[in-house]
């Protein structure tokens, strides 16, 4: 009787361990997907909003008062990919952190 109780308890513990491992793997996959999506958003924002410099590097990002560009730049700022240089109404000028 005691062995059955211990075996049942060990089985429950093993199941909980396996569930936690599965949750950790799923969390890691979600984190990797988020980073990939953030990289894609950054690339698209650079293509749409960049103000080119003479040396061919991406200089500043300009939202051009377009709501979706404002949101994209704010999202990059929120996740430490860019820094706002100036803001007037719906127009945001930002600098990518890699260029700062």
Tens digit of each residue's pLDDT (9 = 90 or more) over 65-79:
999 999 999 999 999
Residue 4 pLDDT exceeds 80: no
pLDDT in tens, 23-43: 999 999 999 999 999 999 999
- DSSP letters, the chain, are -HHHHHHHHHHHHHHHHHHHHHHHHHHHHHHHHHHHHHHHHHHHHHHHHEEE-TTSSEEEEE-TT-HHHHHHHHHHHHTTSEEEEEEETTEEEEEEGGG-
Residue 47 pLDDT exceeds 90: yes
Mean pLDDT taken over the chain: 90
Give this prediction's pTM.
0.75
């Amino acid at each position: 009787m005691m062995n059955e109780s211990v075996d049942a308890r060990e089985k429950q513990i093993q199941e909980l361990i396996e569930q936690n491992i599965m949750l950790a793997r799923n969390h890691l996959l979600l984190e990797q997907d988020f980073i990939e999506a953030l990289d894609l958003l950054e690339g698209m924002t650079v293509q749409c909003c960049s103000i080119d410099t003479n040396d061919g590097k991406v200089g500043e990002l300009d939202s051009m008062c377009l709501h979706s560009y404002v949101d994209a730049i704010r999202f990059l700022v929120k996740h430490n990919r860019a820094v706002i240089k100036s803001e007037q109404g719906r127009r945001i000028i930002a600098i990518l952190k890699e260029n700062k």
